[in-house]
Structure 1
Amino acid sequence: MKRIAIAAGDSRGERSHKRIGAITVVASFFMAFAGATVFAQSYPTKPIRLIVPSGGGGAPDILGRLVAAKLSDGLGQQIIVENRPGAGGSIGMEAVAKSTADGYTLGLATTSALSVAPTLFPNLGYDPVRSFEAVSQLTSGNFVIFVNSSVPANTLRELIDLAKSKPGQLNYASVGNGTPHHIAGEAFKLAAGVNMVHVPYKAQAHLGLLSNDVQVMFEGLGPFLSHIRSGKIRALAVAGPERFGQIPDVPTTAEAGLPDYEITANMGLVAPRETPPDVIRRVNEVLVKVMATNEVKEAFFNQGLRAISSSPEQYAALIRDDVVRWARASKAAKAKID
């Protein structure tokens, strides 16, 4: 009778099992890789949803719909825009974060939703860095300091002097608590040494400025460009390093005597975490081409913004940096929910 001995860790039987296990692991890896590649090549096979975390009529909605239409042409599938406003954009971004990571839900990420909301809302349903896959940055732009034309201030210095002479009597509007407009106002109060009252609007905050229900607003150029030309609104300063070509006579805050006050906001495209990398790359490739078209560049320019694009990695790095920068600004300005 032959004696069969199995020595632990050193038998042909165990080596055979190891080889089979290794082959199985390798085969599984290549099957998964092949499956992902086939999925990416066929993507998209049905309509895509783009969640915009703000109401209709503002720059995110206007530009988001334009980008969606052009991206739809490039991908060969309809992109349906869904507005989910509220809580500084956090309601919409939570919906994105909790969606299936299959490439059929995208989110228009704003500075408000990704960078400001986490500093003011304690129980967000998402993490601005870990809950999303970055696709591409879309734009970057500086705010402008606006006043109603009835306000007796033609320069930034005159506005500051007026606010100091009437503490608590001037109101400034924002598009809601926990938005860049809100932080911009609180940061201005700190930088200029003035006391103004914050009036948050759920939507259409610019109408409050036009009617003089509020006297001051910190906003991008786009919503007010026609009202500047009609004389209903006065632009006092650009809160950035360069003047705007559309309003070349309006100085920067540094030129107007407030050098430490600059407000920059960004927008970009994100997807739920663990969306397949090949899908992210596919959307990014089309988006880069979209953002380079003259039609898109002109539309963004008319909103006082630059149409730009980036790699997913570059946009992810910007999100991380922005979260830190806005948290610092919120803390310095002692911003809080009204």
Structure 2
Amino acid sequence: MNGSFWSMVFVSRWSRRAVCAAALFACGAALAETPFPSRPVHVFVPYAAGGGVDILARTLGEAVSRQWGQSVVVENRPGAGGIVASQALVTSAPDGYTLMVVASGHATNPFLYPKLPYDTFKDFTPISILGSSPNILLVRADSPFKTLADVIAQAKAKPGSLSYGQSGNGTSTHLAGELLKKLAGFDMSAIPYKGGAPAINDLLGGQIPMSFNNAPEALGQLAAGSLRALAVTTTRRSPFLPDVPAMSETVPGYDTEVWWGLLGPAGMPTDLAEKISRDFVAALKTDPVKERLAKFGASPIGSSPEVLDAKIHADYEKWGAIIKSSGITAE
């Protein structure tokens, strides 16, 4: 990422907060007169159309729009690991009409991009954790590795002999592998790909012995029998793969997942953030939403703003140390 990019997107935090304060005053006066929402709400997605985050945003947008009687317009703004969409959000008015669905990488971006044009904590209003999904450690169906213990045994017996595919430096699949190395006490090489699908292609072709992938990318291949899942990365087994062990069954303390959250710009009134949170939580409880999320291996959550805020802080602390010790930087 070059200097011209940052010069284009940089906005002084002091001036931004002054703008937010003025907008908050106007927003409060408007809310006193007009129930929210009285016009379409825009939701930014920091990734391309068709991916898991996009599907989640559009599914929830349809459900919430029926509650509100107003359109929810999903706008894909991919680029720079979510920074492009985040920058657009933090310069928006804190009136609830501009929101963003983020993935768990939102909490780790400060370590991967040291010159972020916003503050991860001060420039956003947390609203709700929307859902989560495990990552999965995959091997080919004919792999000699039958269990996670087999992988660990070879990695320790033959240091440096193993590698794993992941969907890009600093992604959740990359960090899943680094956490395994740290907790299990062995080394293996991380092979970065431009997304999870290319990693699976090389896994199927025998170029790599294993790969960490998001559930939506893996479920189809698992159902077809071409891949085998050794473990899911959450502390408990996934309801979508009940026969696959959790990583923590072999490596105590292991726990990581992909989660998605809803944010607004800093300065949103507390009652407005809580209302939007309640409405999205209600949408997550509806059968059509639960059924759609289940198709790509996601579990609905729905939380208060405080729970999302705590999650972002916890992941920041957890992954910061690992990213620094592993020397991971954004591609």
Q: Which residue of 1 aligns with 2:31?
A: 36
Identity among equivalent positions (%) equals: 33
Q: Which residue of 2 aligns with 1:135?
A: 127
Q: Which residue of 2 aligns with 1:68?
A: 61
Of 59, 77, 91, the residue aligned with 1:98 is 91
Q: Is the 8 A contact 1:53 1:89 kept in 2?
A: yes
Q: What SS does the aligned partner of 2:255 have?
A: coil
Alignment of 1:34-183 (within 5 A): 34-39=29-34, 41-45=35-39, 47-112=40-105, 114-163=106-155, 170-183=162-175
Q: Which residue of 2 aligns with 1:268?
A: 261
Distance 1:215 1:101, change over 3 A: farther
Q: Distance in 1 between matches of 2:27 and 2:41?
A: 24
2:248 counterpart of 1:254: yes
- Alignment gaps of 5+ in structure 2: 1-24
Offset, 1:51: 1.1
Q: What SS does the aligned partner of 2:247 have?
A: coil
2:300 counterpart of 1:321: no
After superposition, what is the alpha-carbon deviation per residue over 1:257-306, rounded to whole angstroms, capped at 9, x for unaligned?
32243213321111111234443233223212101112222333333332
Distance 1:195 1:226, change over 3 A: same
Q: What SS does the aligned partner of 2:114 have?
A: coil
- Alignment gaps of 5+ in structure 1: 1-29
Q: Distance in 1 between matches of 2:143 and 2:125?
A: 45
2:228 counterpart of 1:237: no
After superposition, what is the alpha-carbon deviation per residue over 1:281-333, rounded to whole angstroms, capped at 9, x for unaligned?
33223212101112222333333332111222232222222222221332344
Number of equivalenced pairs: 305
- One-letter identity of the residue aligned with 1:43: P
Q: Distance in 2 between matches of 1:315 and 1:246?
A: 24
More off after superposition, 270-279 vs 130-139? 270-279
Offset, 1:44: 3.0
Offset, 1:108: 0.4
Q: Is the 8 A contact 2:200 2:211 kept in 1?
A: no
Q: Distance in 2 between matches of 1:293 and 1:219?
A: 28
Offset, 1:110: 1.2
- One-letter identity of the residue aligned with 2:121: V
Distance 1:94 1:34, change over 3 A: closer
After superposition, what is the alpha-carbon deviation per residue over 1:136-172, rounded to whole angstroms, capped at 9, x for unaligned?
1111333221123354322112223444566656543
Distance 1:284 1:31, change over 3 A: closer
Q: Is the 8 A contact 1:48 1:79 kept in 2?
A: yes
Please give the TM-score of this superposition, normalised by the length of structure 1.
0.79
Q: Is the 8 A contact 1:36 1:276 kept in 2?
A: no
Offset, 1:230: 0.8
RMSD value over aligned CA atoms?
Answer: 2.7
Q: Is the 8 A contact 1:173 1:201 kept in 2?
A: no
Q: Distance in 2 between matches of 1:94 and 1:214?
A: 37
Distance 1:171 1:83, change over 3 A: farther
Q: Is the 8 A contact 2:37 2:97 kept in 1?
A: no
Q: Distance in 2 between matches of 1:140 and 1:175?
A: 18
- One-letter identity of the residue aligned with 2:190: V
Q: Is the 8 A contact 1:131 1:273 kept in 2?
A: yes
Please give the TM-score of this superposition, normalised by the length of structure 2.
0.81
Q: Distance in 2 between matches of 1:77 and 1:88?
A: 30
| Larger of the two Rg values belongs to structure | 1
Q: What SS does the aligned partner of 1:254 have?
A: helix
